Amino acid sequence: MKVKLTSVIVQDQATALRFYTEVLGFVKKVDIPAGEHRWLTVVSPEEPDGTELLLEPNVLHVASLYQRALFQEGIPLVAFAVDDIQKEYSRLKALGVDFRSEPTDAGGAIIAVFDDTCGNYVQIYQVP
């Protein structure tokens, strides 16, 4: 069994695509019309054939509730591994990313959390 696709719920796919590609540095992989929305995935440029991240619109009521509840509680919806968290934190701060927390030792990993502008908190982490 392999993880090849996972999703992140987003309020607006166009905004999400811009943020996840232009700011975070992911690359668009699939963009297929699907009714009023799109089957829209991005991947890490370091692993173009790796796990795809589906930018999934929060059109279902339960998805919207779930997304809002996590955000209100300050819980990240997704976490991304980085090699150098301080470097990535500085790069993203320079691009105007709104961080909820600076890089912090969480006992086994260093983590930082930011707002993805699409209704989610995202955690980046580095395992020493």
CATH numbers and ranges of domains, the chain:
5-126 (3.10.180.10)
pLDDT tens track of the chain, all 128 residues? 999 999 999 999 999 999 999 999 999 999 999 999 999 999 999 999 999 999 999 999 999 999 999 999 999 999 999 999 999 999 999 999 999 999 999 999 999 999 999 999 999 999 98
The answer to whether the beta carbons of residues 88 and 43 sit under 8 Å apart is: no
The pTM assigned to this predicted structure is: 0.94
pLDDT for 128 equals: 83
Integer angstrom CA distances of residue 17 from 41, 56, 109: 9, 11, 28
pLDDT for 13 equals: 97
> What are 49's two structure tokens?
């054939």
The answer to whether the beta carbons of residues 109 and 125 sit under 8 Å apart is: yes
Computed over its alpha carbons, how large is the radius of gyration of the chain? 15
The answer to whether the beta carbons of residues 42 and 21 sit under 8 Å apart is: yes
